[in-house]
Structures are given as structure tokens and as C-alpha cells.
Amino acid sequence: MQVVKRAAADYRWVRPPEWCPGCGHFGILQSLYNAFAELNLDPANVVLVSGIGCSSRLPHYVRTTSVHAIHGRAIPYALGIKLANPSLEVVVVGGDGDLMAIGGNHLLHLGRRNVDMTIILMDNSVYGLTRGQAGPTLPAGIKVKAVPKANPQGEINPLLLALTAGFTFIARGYSYDIKYTTKLIAEAITHKGSAFVQIYSPCVTYNNVMTREWYEKKIYKLEEADPAWDPVVHDEKEVDLKIRKALDKIVERDRLPLGVFYKNELVPTFDERYESLYDPNYRKLPPALQPVEADGKPVVDFEKLVADRLL
């Protein structure tokens, strides 16, 4: 087979994005194109999965296979796809409302499985598509443009949640910094295990508080602030230390660090666990790729299957 080298433009779908001009989500889309090109992913082997939200429309602007599912459930749909065919490159994108409010439980339970897929949180701290209500990452007391009152609910830190969930790659980017975001997304995709990337992505229409200016005053890069920063677990024994170091940065609130907080490829992935516990051929012959009949006859030997039940 001929090796194709694809460019970012090769991942652009025919239809143009329908976001408000200036929306942070454009930056993430561009970064995704770039990362896909950098990794030269086969667009027919990538499955982009999303829920519902402005952010969740992203797959329609990308030239890869995609599933635009229902609100909050992108992760389990993606998971089903990946479980059935682990050779696919599965990437989930979604908003803070989608992935952390209604979809919070699936995020929480994905990490602990360490399935080899990537979650990209397009975080604007509001519900864009339903016209500007508070998202779960909006701090208490802030009143955004379109709602009548200030937020009486506190915020959740997505990275702390990812760590709690057991994600083995945890990073944070900023949508207007396309180069950096590209790098983080590419790293997340190549990571072996469940990867989580939060990307600050201002909603220019409804979030009049957490704006470009607001973010740019607070963000900094981990590796710039501390050139010795090394989030990678190189040895089992380092796990506790690296988790504690990551936590230390994750709970930072006044300034907002960007970069990779934690990365551990020593945890077995779900595939690996499944092969050792259930089915040694799992990756060779996964559910989606098995023939189940030959000339209409089941491939399974029924009598052998029920042997211990026969009288």
C-alpha cells in the first residue's frame, strides 16, 4: 500500500463550521486538523464521537468518520465502538455541559477502565447551544450575560475529576494557542490509555466574564514555569509521587497552568486486561471483525457450548 501523507486541510469537511465568529471552538477544530495531520491518521479509521452542544457539532466539520450522538453520552457510545473494534482511533469531543454536567458519570467511569481513547473537553463554562446558562466549570457567584442571576453553584475542576477517574494522561490547553493545543491533542491520541485534555475555549456570545483577556491573564505553561517539570511515570514506584505532584498543580486556582499534568503508560489498558482475563484473541479478532456465521450456520458449536448442561 502506498503511504499517503495528509495535510491539515485533508481533514476539513466540505461544509463550513456554524459557530459564532470568534468562538473558541474554531481554535480547537484547527488544532485537531493539525494533530490528525501530524499523526497522519487515516480518516476512515478515526471515529470522532460527540454529544450535543456547540462544541459537539465539531465532528460535522471534520473529514473523518463520526458519530454525533445524544447529550452527555458521547463517552459510552465511543466506548462501545472502541470495545467492539480496538484498532479504531476513537476521539471524543464535547463541552463542559455535555461531558461534565449530564455526562459526568461516564467521564468518571471511563478513566478507571483505561481504555485507549482520547477525550477532549471544549470548556467555555457555559451552555452555548442552549443560550448561555452556567456550566459546571463556572465558579460560584459569577453572573454571565444571558442568565437572570449569579451562579449559586460551585465549580468542578475537570482535571481533578480526570485524576479521580483514573485517566492516565491528563492535560490542559487553550484554544487560541493552536500550536500548543495541537501538540497536546497529538500527545493525547498517541498516549496508550485513557487520555483527557481540557481546553479553555471562550464562548464569545454568552460568557462575558471568562473571556480571552480573562484567561490570558491567568494561564501559564508548566514546563515554562518549571523546566524540570516531568509529569511522566517512568517506574511503578513513582506513581504516588507523580500523582501528588500532579494534584499539587491541578488544585492551583489563582493562576491556571497549561500542559501535561500526568502521564502513566505503565497501567495496563483495558485491551490488555481483557485479553488476560477473558479472551486471549481479543485484539486479533475483536467483536466487530468476527464472522458470526458461515453459510447461515452459526460459527459457535452449540452442543459444545451447552455440554455441561446436557442430560
Nearer to ligand TPP, 35 or 129 (CB): 129
Nearer to ligand SF4, 182 or 207 (CB): 207
Q: Are 276 and 270 in contact (CB under 8 A)?
A: no
Asked if 270 is part of the footprint of ligand SF4 (rule: CB under 6 A), the reply reads: no
Contacts of 50 (CB under 8 A, 6+ apart): 56, 57, 58, 59, 66, 67, 68, 69, 74, 92, 93, 94, 98
Asked if 19 is part of the footprint of ligand SF4 (rule: CB under 6 A), the reply reads: yes
Q: Are 60 and 93 in contact (CB under 8 A)?
A: no
CB of 203 vs Mg ion, minimal distance in Å:
6
CB of 220 vs other proteins, minimal distance in Å:
31
Which DSSP state fits 97?
I
Q: Which of 12, 30, 85, 239 binds other proteins (CB under 8 A)?
A: 85
Read off the C-alpha cell for 49.
Answer: 464521537
Q: Could you tell me which of 47, 116, 119, 64 has the C-alpha nearest to residue 86? A: 116
Nearer to ligand SF4, 168 or 205 (CB): 205
Nearer to ligand SF4, 18 or 236 (CB): 18
Residues 239-268 that bind its own copies (CB under 8 A): 240, 243-244, 247-248, 251, 253, 267
Residues 119-148 that bind its own copies (CB under 8 A): 136, 140-141
Q: Which of 28, 37, 58, 69 binds other proteins (CB under 8 A)?
A: 69
Nearer to its own copies, 25 or 191 (CB): 191
Contacts of 86 (CB under 8 A, 6+ apart): 116, 271, 282, 283, 286
